[in-house]
Amino acid sequence: MKEQIEIPLVKRKCDNCHGDSLVDLWNYKTMTKTRSTQWVFRVYNVICKNCGFIFTSPVLNQEYLLKYYRDSFSAVDGQTLDYDIQNRLIVIDKYMSECSNNVYLEIGANLNSKFHSKLQERFKQLITVEPNPSASNTYYDINELKNIKADIIAHYFVLEHVVEIGLFFKRCKNLLKDDGIMICEVPSLDKYEEIIGPLILFEHVNHFTPQTLASIAANYGFKMLEHSTKFCSRPFGFVSIFKKDKIVLDNGINEYEVNKKLFQSGLRSVGIFNDQIKVIRTHIKDQDNKIIIWVANLITLKLLEGIESTNNITIVDVDPNKKLFFDGSPEVRLPDEVIEDIDNSNAIVICSATHSIDILAYINKQFGKCYDESAIYIIR
């Protein structure tokens, strides 16, 4: 049995207006496993009545979270996979001319990526920081960075995980040259209805709109130059560019009504998603025959909750990094390893709606397997 840790909760006021008039939006308890530990997360999503920023309060204790991330499999939350390199480079190239091209610092990254080899051509020095020691990075902790002044600081899908936003921005400010640029990508609240991933991921402690993010960053002396969903490297977020500037307190934004609606639309999609999962899960449980589940991601994780015996299931993903996605049980297999299972299966569950047509075509071409339309379950 793994050790079980319930992450303690800490009081938290609004990072934007520092108000504490908070309205409950959605709370739940969930469990997850890392290498050595089983973790209990309690998630309390609230909205600030004064400004409309949505975050979790009380919030998960930062130190425990760091322990959790350090013990995680790097691929568990899908953060390290599946982004558009070209979009990242377009944004970097656009702003490179505004600063010198010496030092690029990325928080929350693994150096061994195609993206970083493209950056090698552009910068004299690349530095990455990532709490997960399984990644091949330069540093594990932002506090270890001393005497570094970066021309560009980037953090892609990091800030929604950060409990102490103020401290994070202050450190970024210290690490950035005066004429430097900070690039930040986060999930966008107005996409939650369409893509629920960022809403249901229990690790997320902040839910941003461009306005709330700009306003919070201004509290710590960062001015947002622009933001864009088109050039974000993932379809559910927005990229924003910041420069150092004077501190601007109280931007007076009030997005309470609009943000609450956006969050609630997201929750309706979560309800639809859960109903769909329930139906498919029941079908899997009732079947003795082989079922293929294609793609290991958070949807798959959700689907497997409450399924005790996975004997009739084979989980397939073309990405070898996902082998231990479920902590090794069930193991995620590459297509070529399970040709026989694919051949013997009489149903398939696809946990990636956007790629479902390609996946079915691939299976047909590669293994000559064609499923009955009634035996194809696509989770949307």
Number of residues that bind Zn ion (CB under 5 A): 8
The answer to whether the peptide bond before residue 330 is cis (omega within 30 degrees of 0) is yes
* Binding window for Zn ion (CB under 5 A); candidates: 50-58, 121-129, 162-170, 188-196: 50-58
Q: Could you say which of 19, 133, 166, 271 contacts Zn ion (CB under 5 A)?
A: 19
- DSSP H helical segments within 176-255, as ranges? 197-200, 210-219
| 342 touching Zn ion, by CB under 5 A | no
**What is the SS3 string spanning 27-39?**
EEEEEEECCCEEE
* Binding window for Zn ion (CB under 5 A); candidates: 15-23, 227-235, 336-344, 352-360: 15-23
* Binding window for Zn ion (CB under 5 A); candidates: 9-17, 32-40, 74-82, 199-207: 9-17
The nearest distance, CB 48 to Zn ion, in angstroms, is 3
The nearest distance, CB 17 to Zn ion, in angstroms, is 3
For Zn ion, the closer of residues 22 and 280 by Cβ is 22
For Zn ion, the closer of residues 151 and 255 by Cβ is 255
For Zn ion, the closer of residues 53 and 377 by Cβ is 53
The nearest distance, CB 185 to Zn ion, in angstroms, is 23
The nearest distance, CB 218 to Zn ion, in angstroms, is 13
| Cα separations in angstroms, 138 against 110, 239, 270 | 9, 24, 38
The nearest distance, CB 308 to Zn ion, in angstroms, is 44
Identify residues 193-252 at the interface with Zn ion (CB under 5 A). none
CA 367 – CA 96 distance, rounded (Å): 47
The nearest distance, CB 215 to Zn ion, in angstroms, is 9
Q: Which residues are paired to 237 by β-bridges?
A: 187
* Binding window for Zn ion (CB under 5 A); candidates: 17-25, 143-151, 207-215, 316-324: 17-25
Q: Can you point out the beta strands (E) in the chain?
A: 3-6, 9-10, 22-33, 37-48, 54-56, 59-60, 103-107, 125-129, 150-156, 176-187, 206-207, 222-228, 237-244, 291-294, 313-316, 332-333, 347-350, 376-378
Contact pattern for Zn ion over residues 53 through 82, marking x by CB under 5 A: x-----------------------------
| 46 touching Zn ion, by CB under 5 A | no
Other residues' Cβ atoms within 10 Å of the Cβ of residue 97: 8
* Binding window for Zn ion (CB under 5 A); candidates: 40-48, 104-112, 152-160, 171-179: 40-48
* Residue 51 · residue 253 · CB < 8 Å: yes
For Zn ion, the closer of residues 14 and 199 by Cβ is 14
CA 322 – CA 300 distance, rounded (Å): 12
Amino acid (1-letter code) at residue 366: Q
| 91 touching Zn ion, by CB under 5 A | no
* Residue 239 · residue 181 · CB < 8 Å: no
| 17 touching Zn ion, by CB under 5 A | yes
| 50 touching Zn ion, by CB under 5 A | yes
* Residue 177 · residue 150 · CB < 8 Å: yes
* Binding window for Zn ion (CB under 5 A); candidates: 52-60, 150-158, 197-205, 275-283: 52-60
Could you tell me which of 186, 235, 232, 366 has the C-alpha nearest to residue 294? 366
* Residue 165 · residue 206 · CB < 8 Å: yes
In sequence order, what are the residues at sequence separation of 6 or more whose Cβ sits closer than 8 angstroms to the Cβ of residue 149? Answer: 103, 175, 176, 177, 180
| 48 touching Zn ion, by CB under 5 A | yes
Q: Which residue has the tokens 């003795």?
A: 288
CA 113 to centroid of chain Cα atoms = 17
For Zn ion, the closer of residues 253 and 303 by Cβ is 253
Q: Could you say which of 7, 14, 46, 303 contacts Zn ion (CB under 5 A)?
A: 14
Strands 332-333 and 237-244: unpaired
* Contact residues: Zn ion, CB under 5 A: 14, 16-17, 19, 48, 50-51, 53
